[in-house]
């Protein structure tokens, strides 16, 4: 069993004047080779920040990010660049991240050329191969982003990421802006890329129903903390954490396509002033006295599953 590709253990605060935001609070997670790791939670829970840290775009204030067992601090400049190229982010809105004045061949070809991964004379062939991988043809080489549909633009965004041979794609709400039928196509593409290329996917979404079919493991976040990690089956069929249970109950019923009413009571508290103790205690139907006072530890309750909730503290098993 190979070790994790990326492992993060730490916290990250940032300041939105004049307040401090605890964006990631004692988060511990790893990304394994070839897996699809789903990250779900309401907006503002820190999942995009987690994605940016896993991508090496931001560093934790405390703790460490390791890549194949080495911390970023140990790496020289060239190794650090290699590590950063190894994790590519696919954003929600490819429109905003594609230069409107560039042709597709330049958009996809720039990074591999600049980083010396491909010779100029091989570039057209490389770019065409990337287009093929995402289901587009060489007919797109000389088009501009505005000539493409939303789904085609997202494919170009994926081809651009693939052009530097990443080990991990970090997909932050990558299908959220697309029509449902296009969403399904792009999700199929992601699954194929994982199967064919063996790359890892970190799939970040506020929508558990989008994540659950694709993911091998799912991490659930609430106000800067990971409250539960498990296999997709564990999370979906037997959620442990009361917040996960509420999210599952809230997910659209796939059979009827109807959204049941929200079982999560109240508003998401401000991330500037998260509640004391277990941050979910203000909305948790199972909260008891201790929840207001103590932050629950993250414990393994069964193989592959960790939960941070006082209800489970007796259930600790050796990791």
Please report, as ranges, the residues that interact with ligand SF4 according to CB under 6 A.
241-242, 278, 280-281, 284, 286-287, 291, 296, 309-311
Side by side, which strands form the sheet with 217-222? 87-90, 168-172, 200-205, 36-40, 217-222, 225-231, 305-308, 298-302
In the complex, minimum distance from the CB of residue 129 to Mg ion, in angstroms, rounded to a whole number: 31
Question: Looking at beta carbons only, is 49 or 215 nearer to Mg ion?
Answer: 49
- Residues 66 and 48: their CA atoms lie apart, in Å, by 19
Binding-site partner at residue 48 among Mg ion, ligand SF4, none, CB < 5 to 8 Å by type: Mg ion
Is there binding between residue 174 and Mg ion (CB under 5 A)? no
Binding-site partner at residue 45 among ligand SF4, Mg ion, none, CB < 5 to 8 Å by type: none
**DSSP designation for 105:** H
Would you say 25 and 188 are in contact if contact means Cβ atoms under 8 Å apart?
no
Question: Looking at beta carbons only, is 174 or 301 nearer to ligand SF4?
Answer: 301
> 209: which 2 tokens?
């129903």
**Peptide bond just before 39 cis, omega within 30 deg:** no
In the complex, minimum distance from the CB of residue 221 to ligand SF4, in angstroms, rounded to a whole number: 13
In the complex, minimum distance from the CB of residue 281 to ligand SF4, in angstroms, rounded to a whole number: 4
* Nearest 10 degrees: Cα torsion 134, 138, 140, 142: 140
Buried b (16+ CB within 10 A) or exposed e, 25-45: bbbebbbbbbbbbbbbbeebb
Site for Mg ion in 106-135 (CB under 5 A): none
- Residues 244 and 250: their CA atoms lie apart, in Å, by 10
Report how many residues bind Mg ion under the rule CB under 5 A.
1
Contacts with Mg ion, 280-319, as mask; x by CB under 5 A: ----------------------------------------
Binding-site partner at residue 309 among Mg ion, ligand SF4, none, CB < 5 to 8 Å by type: ligand SF4
Binding-site partner at residue 291 among ligand SF4, Mg ion, none, CB < 5 to 8 Å by type: ligand SF4
Binding-site partner at residue 224 among Mg ion, ligand SF4, none, CB < 5 to 8 Å by type: none
Question: Looking at beta carbons only, is 145 or 296 nearer to ligand SF4?
Answer: 296
Binding-site partner at residue 310 among Mg ion, ligand SF4, none, CB < 5 to 8 Å by type: ligand SF4
* Radius of gyration for the alpha carbons in the chain, expressed in angstroms and rounded: 20
Q: Residue 306: helix, strand or coil by DSSP? A: strand
- Residues 84 and 295: their CA atoms lie apart, in Å, by 33
Count Cβ atoms below 10 Å from residue 162 Cβ, excluding itself: 22
Contacts with Mg ion, 29-68, as mask; x by CB under 5 A: -------------------x--------------------
In the complex, minimum distance from the CB of residue 315 to ligand SF4, in angstroms, rounded to a whole number: 12
List residues near Mg ion by CB under 5 A.
48
């Amino acid at each position: 069993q190979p070790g994790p590709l990326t492992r993060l253990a730490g916290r990250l605060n940032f300041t939105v004047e004049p307040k401090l935001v605890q964006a990631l609070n004692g988060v511990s997670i790893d990304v394994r080779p070839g897996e699809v790791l789903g990250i779900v939670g309401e907006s503002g829970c820190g999942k995009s920040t987690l994605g940016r840290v896993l991508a090496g775009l931001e560093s934790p204030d405390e703790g460490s990010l390791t890549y194949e067992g080495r911390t970023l601090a140990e790496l020289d400049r060239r190794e650090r660049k290699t590590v950063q190229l190894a994790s590519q982010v696919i954003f929600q809105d490819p429109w905003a991240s594609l230069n409107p004045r560039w042709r597709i061949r330049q958009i996809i070809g720039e990074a591999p050329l600049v980083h010396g991964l491909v010779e100029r004379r091989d570039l057209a062939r490389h770019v065409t191969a990337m287009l093929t991988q995402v289901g587009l043809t060489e007919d797109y080489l000389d088009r501009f982003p505005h000539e493409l549909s939303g789904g085609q633009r997202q494919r170009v965004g994926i081809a651009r990421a693939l052009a530097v041979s990443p080990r991990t794609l970090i997909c932050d709400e990558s299908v959220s802006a697309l029509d449902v039928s296009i969403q399904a196509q792009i999700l199929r593409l992601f699954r194929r890329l994982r199967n064919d290329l063996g790359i890892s996917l970190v799939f970040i979404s506020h929508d558990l129903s989008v994540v659950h079919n694709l993911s091998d493991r799912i991490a659930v976040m609430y106000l800067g903390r990971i409250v539960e990690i498990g296999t997709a089956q564990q999370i979906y069929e037997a959620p442990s954490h009361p917040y996960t249970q509420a999210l599952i109950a809230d997910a659209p019923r796939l059979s009827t396509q109807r959204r049941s009413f929200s079982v999560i009571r109240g508003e998401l508290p401000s991330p500037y002033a998260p509640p004391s103790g277990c941050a979910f205690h203000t909305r948790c139907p199972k909260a008891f006295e201790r929840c207001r006072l103590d932050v629950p530890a993250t414990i393994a309750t069964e193989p592959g599953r960790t939960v941070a909730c006082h209800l489970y503290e007796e259930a600790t098993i050796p990791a």
